[in-house]
Amino acid sequence: MKKLSISPLTRAAFAPFGEVIMTDGARHYPINQGTTERFHALACADTHSKNGQTILSLFRAQPRQLPLPITIMERHPLGSQAFVPLTQNEEDEYLVVVAPAGEFDENKMQAFLCKGLQGVNYAKGVWHHPLIALHKISDFIVMDRIGHGHNCDEITLDGSWVLA
Amino acid sequence: MKKLSISPLTRAAFAPFGEVIMTDGARHYPINQGTTERFHALACADTHSKNGQTILSLFRAQPRQLPLPITIMERHPLGSQAFVPLTQNEEDEYLVVVAPAGEFDENKMQAFLCKGLQGVNYAKGVWHHPLIALHKISDFIVMDRIGHGHNCDEITLDGSWVLA
């Protein structure tokens, strides 16, 4: 067994894999006659390849238990994919596991603990584990690509890497 | 004073103005080895005009009080704009006021009460009031357009129409 340890999610640590969607440290300014604060452009869709379009979907995820063997990773070669938890509670945590775009290298996997007030936007082609909710059934709004072309690769692992 | 009455938000009633983002009545199917249910394509971004890009931002809205005089309406002629409340509580309500795209007609304004589990995607060019949160400070994830070109028109009203 090879243990994949879990780090806190920060913009700096996640930068090789995409964007962190959170208000902390974001540019913001008042709009709507001062009644609303806009935290601007926390994520940018990269979905235009092959005339793709950008959609919003909702993912309802069952909670997972640790330790969790990593048996599958996936990537979307034609588009970014963003996840934002539908909560205002930072205790609604979830996990992401990523590996750099390009040829998959299990030794370059990294795991991050995301607080409920944090979303992630996987850059096009970045390897990632399917959604890992914790504690309870969790809803996420998802921004990704729809359109022609092959946009999902999966790779299976033997389960010797364990998220713990 | 002219009272603008408030109707429940439904897909049918909102169809002339855009999409309702909610799981009720949406197409859904299992993904991620059965651990996640995908409620698919609840909203589609319409942001490509003049090489626009699609972004996610977070809007933090102060709660408003009723009765609320309608003194401003706006539209985005180059792109759709979607709002999804960051909550899993249907009691986190908010209001939307819309009028059809094209020349603004105050007599065609409609107001809808949105439950916390409902988002809206204003179609390109649809007139709408700035965000109206209720009860408490409320966060929304917003999908809209960034790019060159003039993408916001505002129109002022004399306040004789009141949301109540």
Contact A62 B21 (CB under 8 A): no
The set of residues, in sequence order, having a beta carbon less than 8 Å from that of B65 and lying 6+ positions away, is: none
% chain A with pLDDT above 90:
96
Q: pLDDT tens digits for A26-66?
A: 999 999 999 999 999 999 999 988 989 999 999 999 999 99
| Contact list, B26 vs chain A (CB under 8 Å) | 58
How many A-B residue pairs are in contact by the CB < 8 A criterion?
A: 148
Residue A121 has a CB neighbour count (10 Å cut-off) of: 25
Residues of B in contact with A76 (CB under 8 A): none
A31 min Cα distance to partner chain B (Å): 9
The chain B residue lying nearest A82, using CA atoms, is: B56
| pTM, full prediction | 0.97
Of B42, B57, B139, the CB nearest to A58: B42
pLDDT at B80: 98
Residue B79 has a pLDDT of: 97
What residue type is assigned to position B61 of the chain? A
Residue A71's pLDDT is what? 97
d(CA A131, CA A60): 10
Q: How far is B1 from chain A (nearest CA, A)?
A: 23
Q: How far apart are CA A151 and CA A138, in angstroms?
A: 25
d(CA B20, CA B123): 11
pLDDT computed for residue B121 by the predictor: 98
pLDDT of the residue at A9: 98
Name the band, by pLDDT with cuts 50, 70 and 90, for residue B154: very high
The confidence band for A150, taking pLDDT boundaries of 50, 70 and 90, is: very high
Of all residues in chain A, the one with the smallest CA distance to B134 is: A35
By CA distance, what is B36's nearest residue in A? A61
Nearest CA in chain A to B87: A87
Q: What is the mean pLDDT of residues B144-160?
A: 96
Probe site for chain A from B22, B29, B57 (most A CB atoms < 10 A): B57
Residue B28: per-residue pLDDT: 98
Q: What is the mean pLDDT of chain B?
A: 97
Give tens-digit pLDDT for B107-147. Answer: 999 999 999 999 999 999 999 999 999 999 999 999 999 99
Backbone phi, then psi, for B18, in 5-degree steps?
150, -155
Task: For B18-88, list the strands marked E by DSSP.
Answer: 18-21, 28-31, 36-44, 53-61, 68-69, 72-75, 81-85
Of all residues in chain A, the one with the smallest CA distance to B20 is: A56
Return the percentage of chain A with pLDDT > 70, whole number.
Answer: 100
pLDDT score for A63 = 98
Phi/psi at A115 (5° precision): -80, 160
pLDDT band at A89 (very low <50, low <70, confident <90, very high): very high
Each residue's pLDDT tens digit, B11-64: 999 999 999 999 999 999 999 999 999 999 999 999 988 889 999 999 999 999
Residues 6+ apart with CB under 8 A from A140: A58, A59, A61, A83, A84, A85, A86, A94, A119, A131
Nearest by CB to B36, which of A121, A130, A143?
A: A130
Of A45, A58, A131, the CB nearest to B32: A131
pLDDT at site A141: 98
- Mean pLDDT across chain A: 97
Contact assignment for B86 to A82 by CB distance below 8 Å = no
Contact assessment for residue A118 and residue A87, using Cβ atoms and an 8 Å cutoff = no
